[in-house]
Structure 1
Amino acid sequence: MTDTNEDEATRQEQLKTMISEEIGRAMQASIPHLAQEVEGHVLEVVESMMASKMDELKGMISEVQGRKGTRKCTYKEFMACNPLPFKGEIDHIACQRWIASTEAVFIRSHCEKEDQVMFATGLLQLRAKDWWDVYSKELGEEKVQVLTWQEFKEPFLKYHCPQSAIDKIQEDFLHLRQKDETIDEITNVFLDKLKFCKDIAGTERMKINRYYGMLKAEYREFIIPAKCENLNELVDLARDREIEIRRQAERGEKRVSENVSSSSPSKKPKFQDQSKKDKAKGSIPKCKTCGKLHTGECLKGKKGCYNCGQEGHPYYRCPNPSRTCYNCFQPGHIKAECPKLQQKTDKEARKEEAPRAKGRMFQITTEEAKDHPNVVSGVKEESSSQVKQQGDQDRGKSHV
């Protein structure tokens, strides 16, 4: 019995050993597979955690952006964009410019629609401010708080831009012609009025024809509007022509100055000094009372006749008029009878009188006349007698 028990214990020990060895072998064979499974499980957990974190970050970013987008524009930020003020001019062009400028500031400052009217009315000054005060009272405070920009523009344009002003702009547009303006100046005027003349010049071809007809002849002679596809091309051609006209004018002025300097370099411009004129008039000083040139006592401010000083008649009906020459300022004659002027006229007439040609006589004999080739024979006796009488007269004058 004892041996049997020992054998049984030995077999159990052997069996345990075999089982442990098999278990070890199985565990060694399954370790790589287990590692892969564990690694895969860990990666899944990490990916799920990263996805959740990314979702949280996206949510935070969208929340920040939403807060930034919903932030309202303040009046300080609106005024920082330098919007234009409006003083109430009854001018359609000025009103349209102010509206366009204000709407551009709305976009730049991200102004909310419910704040646009409040911010824009803060730009009104003088007569425009007076109009808004009256109009806002008529609407009431509750209506003003919910007033939109479009609802504000309609009465604003109706008051500051009446139909009569639009009609005047269209009439001026039809009669617009270039005078002394440059191309840029007349183009700005043309474009300002064009905004209100869509019925007159609505298409691009109508704009081109209207602009071409407005230019001067010196521009239209060198521009073909049919070759232009839009208004900008026509304006560029007009600018090029303006530059060429300026160059031609500069070249012409240069040639004139060169001709004047080369033709008479030593000649000086003729002018007469005022002081010499005063000396020519007898060097009579001006009267301190009336500022005129005269001699004797000044009668300005005194009653009666300027000639004799007696009352009862004006100077042009004076019975004893004093005749004074305005050339030499001497009494006794008038300017037309001045002897100095008559002496000048006599001298000038003598200078202008051309000297008379003196006659000469040549005498030859009959035989010499027949032999000379330049002598014409067959002259009538009447003609010869006339020649003789004329010669006698000339000799008589020479003796005198």
Structure 2
Amino acid sequence: MADARNINDDNDDNNDAARQEAFENRVTEVAEGVIQANLPRLAQEVESRVLGVVDAMMTNKFEELKELIEGSKSKGRERRCTYKDFMACHPMTYDGKIDPVECQRWVSNIEAVFIRSRCDKEDQVMFATGLLTHQAKDWWDAHSKEIGEDRLQAMTWQEFKGPFMRYHCPQSAIDKIQEDFLRLRQKNESVNEIANNFIDKMKFCGELVTIERMKISRFYGVLKAEVREFITPSKCETLEELIDLARDREIEIKRQEERGEKRPSEKGTCGKLHTGECLLGKKGCFKCGKEGHSSYQCPDNPKTCFNCFEKGHIKSECPKLQQGSKKEDRKQEGSRAKGRMFQITSEEAKSQPNMVSGVKEEGTSTKQAEGAQDRGKAPL
């Protein structure tokens, strides 16, 4: 009996499982049917919603971009430079003095003001020429009439700068700057002053200092000896580094003066470039340093004659020149002997046709005396 009951229970469980599976399958079939029936409508609805969201986003972005563009245009109109804005940047005036340095400085200043004031290109010439005075204004008035009103209205800054620089920076003035640049030396100027002068002139001397090393070497030679002291130009990579070292040296010199200390040049150095110890102020020979003779008589540096190039004497003491001088003296004495004269009495002069006022000259032509007598004149 117990076994029969167990068999019945197992059958019931199997039946329940079968019914559950059949139910789930039915639900799946119904769901799939519903989805298939409503899928086009659902897809259309999803598509509509997605397109609506995208359209809204695009509309918003378009409005933002439009506002940004309009705002930029508005701001651009607000930043347009007026002549008042240009003058608020304090541009320099120019009086037309023929000085390439000052002319170039004015051009650089005006171009910097163009940038700061955001000056429109079509206004640059008009604004800049308003700063010309005296001779510069006279030149511009004449040049404006020459080119005509039409070209004047369309003139760019570069078209203005060409003839302006040619007139106010002539080659003769540039040549003078290059000569001054080569002779430039620091005297009473400070390092900053001589450096500014050096840089201003260097703008027109590009072919003289083509590389940085040449600039360094040239400026080092410009500095005073007391400033050059303790500065090694070969260690500088740029001109700016050398100028900074010179400034530091200048400051140290001033500190020494304030402390009452003497610089090496004030302690007995000659200030000249030479090797070894400076012997200025010491007794004896400057060449060998020994006492008992001067540098002129130094045995370590014997004299050399510039006439015969032999050592031991100078040209004024040259034996060959002295021998030549004696021969020349003998020649002069011989020439004087050929023209000797002697005195005679007046009676002797009357009896001799070639005598002149008591003076008889050997070799006088007889024909000259006879010709004089024929003319009734005393012979000469």
Q: TM-score by structure 1 length?
A: 0.53
Query: Per the alignment, in what secondary structure is the counterpart of residue 253 of structure 2?
Result: helix
Distance 1:204 1:149 in 2: 31
Q: Partner letter of residue 51 of structure 2?
A: E
Q: Which residue of 1 aligns with 2:151?
A: 143
Tell me if 1:41 matches 2:48. Answer: yes
Q: Secondary structure at the match of 2:260?
A: helix
Q: CA deviation at 1:162?
A: 1.2
Which of these residues, 54, 62, 66, is aligned with residue 59 of structure 1? 66
1:309-360 residue CA offsets vs partner (Å, 9 max, x unmatched) = xxxxxxxxxxxxxxxxxxxxxxxxxxxxxxxxxxxxxxxxxxxxxxxxxxxx
Where does residue 182 of structure 1 map in the other structure?
A: 190
**TM-score of the pair, normalised by structure 2:** 0.55
> How far apart in 2 are the matches of 1:123 and 1:195?
24
Match of 2:298 in 1: none
Q: CA deviation at 1:50?
A: 2.3
Q: Give the C-alpha shift of residue 43 in structure 1.
A: 4.3
Q: Per the alignment, do residues 218 and 53 of structure 1 end up closer, same or farther by CA in structure 2, a change over 3 Å counting?
A: same
**In 2, Cα distance between equivalents of 1:226 and 1:28:** 89
Q: How does 1:317-356 map to 2 (within 5 A)?
A: none
AA at the equivalent of 2:259: R
Are residue 247 (structure 1) and residue 255 (structure 2) matched?
yes
Q: How far does residue 63 in structure 1 lie from its aligned partner after superposition?
A: 3.6
Q: Which residue does the alignment assign to 1:152?
A: 160
Q: Deviation per CA, 1:81-138, whole angstroms, max 9, x where unpaired? A: 2211111121111111110111111122222222211111111112211111111111
The correspondence for 2:138, drawn from 130, 133, 147, is 130
Question: Alignment partner of 1:64: what SS?
Answer: helix
Corresponding residue number in structure 2 for 1:86: 94
Residue 247 of structure 1, CA deviation: 1.5
2:217 match: 209
Q: In structure 2, do the counterparts of structure 1 residues 27 and 145 end up closer, same or farther at CA, with 3 Å as the change threshold? A: same
Q: Could you list the runs of 4 or more consecutive aligned residues of structure 1 that deviate by over 6 angstroms after TM superposition?
A: 26-37
The residue type equivalent to 1:65 in the other structure is S
Letter aligned with residue 113 of structure 1: K
Q: Between Structure 1 and Structure 2, whose CA radius of gyration is higher?
A: 1
RMSD across aligned positions (CA): 2.9
> Sequence identity of aligned pairs in percent?
58
> Which residue type is aligned with residue 222 of structure 1?
F
In the alignment, what sits opposite 1:169? 177
CA distance in 2, matches of 1:31, 1:144: 78
> Residue 223 of structure 1 corresponds to which residue in structure 2?
231
SS at 1:252 equivalent: coil
Paired position in structure 1 for 2:208:
200
Distance 1:185 1:31, change over 3 A: same
1:44 positional shift: 3.1
Q: Tell me by how many angstroms 1:68 deviates.
A: 4.1
Q: CA deviation at 1:41?
A: 3.3
Q: Compared with structure 1, are the counterparts of its residues 222 and 35 closer, same or farther at alpha carbon in structure 2 (3 Å cutoff)?
A: same
